[in-house]
């Protein structure tokens, strides 16, 4: 790409010419968030993808998110700037292995977190996201037996919150499992006025330290509206961009990982760059395509979620 090009300008031009919309997750790099038409959590992004009348959806997020957009709005061209933008949590649940495993629980309903492949969705009864998981579980009768996949941490948190005893698949997100309880505890002592805000994909010992637990949108809203001026943010660091934009006078401290690595950044989310967004819009590829039979099977449990989350 010609380094003299103003990528912001070029992307705006391409959006207008092609009637394209850019949907971005909060974990995307700041430049991509700034050029997006809509930034949201997984539920907001799915709802937006479903309702848009743009001809092209450029999805600045990871593969399962773009796939969900295609499932919900199949006549649109869905572009993902880098097809390698996967998800460790999604990878922790291979559909063929899950299909075998769930045979042990024939009388259980399968609730699956949206962070999974279309193949997993096709094996599920209802999808949920971190923002509606409690409501989805609570929509079922108290004696309903449930399997929850793939995130064991989110599942354990929902079990605790709802008093259920869902059977949990043993999957997790590499980014949210890396936070150090000890370091967060120490930070809390050094900043006694700071509130700890965490994503439910974190492990139980970390969640015990949290003053608020929620999806990215919910964490952001909490930080925006809380009277506190300082926050220890226990999720992927991309979320700090909107926090700082919305309330520049507040202090946001990214929670540290166990080692001195940058592991609180999602390597998959960060595969997308402004340059790749530009190229994807210009050449209309990489395009997300999917088998129609799989799409229809995966759509059913997503529709059920959207119906409950209206």
The annotation places the binding site for iminosuccinate at 25, 42, 113-115, 130, 199-201, 216
Query: Contacting ligand SF4 (CB under 6 A), which of 109, 156, 167, 174?
Result: 174
Please say which residue, 73 or 217, places its beta carbon nearer to ligand 13P: 217
Three-state DSSP class for residue 17:
helix
Contact between 62 and ligand SF4 by CB under 6 A: the answer reads yes
Which residues from 129-158 bind ligand SF4, rule CB under 6 A?
none
Q: Of 69, 195, 197, 266, which lies in the binding site for ligand SF4, with binding defined by CB under 6 A?
A: 266
201 vs 27: CA distance, rounded Å: 14
- For residue 101, the minimal CB distance to ligand 13P (Å) is 23
User: How far are the Cα atoms of 14, 201, 272 from residue 278, in angstroms, in the given order?
Assistant: 8, 31, 10
Considering only 88, 112, 117, 130, the residue that binds ligand 13P (CB under 6 A) is: 130
User: Which residue number, 15 or 270, has a Cβ lying nearer to ligand SF4?
Assistant: 270
What's the farthest any 2 CA atoms get from each other in the chain? 63
Which residues pair with residue 59 across a beta bridge?
23
DSSP bridge partners of 147: 110, 167
CB of 176 to ligand SF4, least distance (A): 6
* CA–CA gap between residue 148 and residue 137 (Å, rounded): 10
Q: How far is CA 225 from CA 33, 222, 241, in A?
A: 21, 5, 16
Count CB neighbours of 141 within 10 A: 6
Q: Which residues are annotated as a binding site?
A: 25, 42, 87, 113-115, 130, 173, 199-201, 216, 266
129 near ligand 13P, rule: CB under 6 A: yes
The Cα angle at residue 151 between residues 76 and 223, in degrees rounded to 5? 80
As a whole number of angstroms, the distance between CA 111 and CA 109 comes to: 6
| 202 lies in the binding site for ligand SF4 (CB under 6 A) | no
Three-state secondary-structure class, residue 79: strand
- Taking residues 198 to 217 in sequence order and writing x for each that binds ligand 13P by CB under 6 A, - otherwise, the string is -x-x-------------xx-
List binders of ligand SF4 among 78-107 (CB under 6 A): 87-89
**Shortest CB 10 distance to ligand 13P, Å:** 28
Binding residues for ligand 13P (CB under 6 A)? 41-42, 115, 129-131, 173, 199, 201, 215-216
Binding residues for ligand SF4 (CB under 6 A)? 62, 87-89, 115, 173-175, 236, 266, 268-269
């Amino acid at each position: 790409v010609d380094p003299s090009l103003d990528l912001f300008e070029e992307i705006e031009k391409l959006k207008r010419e092609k009637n394209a919309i850019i949907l971005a997750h909060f974990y995307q790099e700041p430049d991509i968030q700034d050029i997006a038409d809509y930034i949201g959590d997984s539920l907001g992004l799915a709802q937006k993808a479903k309702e848009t009348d743009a001809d092209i959806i450029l999805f600045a997020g990871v593969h399962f998110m773009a796939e969900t957009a295609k499932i919900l709005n199949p006549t649109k061209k869905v572009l993902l700037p880098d097809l390698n933008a996967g998800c460790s949590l999604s990878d922790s649940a291979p559909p063929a292995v899950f299909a075998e495993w769930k045979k042990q629980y024939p009388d259980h309903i399968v609730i699956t977190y949206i962070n999974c492949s279309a193949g997993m969705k096709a094996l599920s009864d209802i999808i949920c996201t971190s923002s509606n998981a409690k409501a989805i579980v609570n929509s079922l009768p108290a004696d309903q037996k449930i399997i929850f996949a793939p995130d064991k941490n989110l599942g354990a948190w929902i079990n605790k919150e709802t008093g259920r005893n869902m059977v949990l698949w043993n999957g997790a997100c590499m980014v949210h499992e890396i936070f150090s309880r000890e370091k967060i505890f120490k930070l809390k002592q050094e900043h006694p006025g700071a509130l700890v805000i965490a994503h439910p994909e974190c492990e139980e010992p970390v969640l015990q330290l949290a003053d608020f637990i929620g999806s990215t949108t919910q964490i952001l809203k909490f930080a925006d509206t809380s009277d506190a001026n300082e926050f220890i943010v226990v999720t992927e660091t991309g979320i700090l961009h909107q926090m700082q934009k919305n309330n520049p006078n507040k202090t946001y401290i990214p929670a540290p990982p166990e080692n001195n690595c940058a592991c609180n950044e999602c390597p998959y989310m960060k595969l997308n760059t402004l340059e790749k967004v530009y190229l994807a819009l210009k050449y209309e590829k990489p395009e997300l395509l999917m088998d129609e039979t799989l799409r229809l099977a995966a759509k059913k449990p997503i529709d059920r979620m959207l119906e409950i989350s209206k």
